[in-house]
Chains A and B, each alone.
Chain A
Amino acid sequence: MKEEKLFAENSPISSNRRWGMVIDLDRCTGCQACVVACHAENNVPVVGEAEAAYGRWMHWIHIERYWEGEYPNIKARFMPVLCQQCDEAPCEPVCPVFATYHTDEGLNAQIYNRCIGTRYCGSACPYKVRTFNWFDPEFPEPLKEQLNPNVTVRTRGIMEKCTFCIQRIRQVEEGAKMADRVLEDGEIQPACAQSCPPGAIVFGNLEDEDSLASKLASSRRSFRLLDELGTGPAVIYLKGGETNV
Chain B
Amino acid sequence: MGSFELAGVSKSFRTGPPALTDISFRYEGAGAVGYLGPNGAGKTTTLKLLVGLLRPSAGHAYVNGVDPMVDRKQALWDVGALIETPEPYPTLNVLEALDAVGRARGLNRDDIDREVDRCHALLDLPPLGQRVGWLSKGQLQRVALASALMGNPSVLLLDEPTSGLDPAERVLVRRTLNQLKRDHLVFMSSHQMFEVSEVCDQLVFLDHGRVLLRDRVDRVAGRIRSREVDVEFDRRVDPAAMSGVRAVAADLSALSERRWRISFDGSDATRVRLLAACQSVAPVVQFANTSLLLEEAYLELIPRPAEDS
A and B interact physically: no
User: Which A residues contact B (CB, under 8 angstroms)?
Assistant: none
User: Which B residues contact A (CB, under 8 angstroms)?
Assistant: none
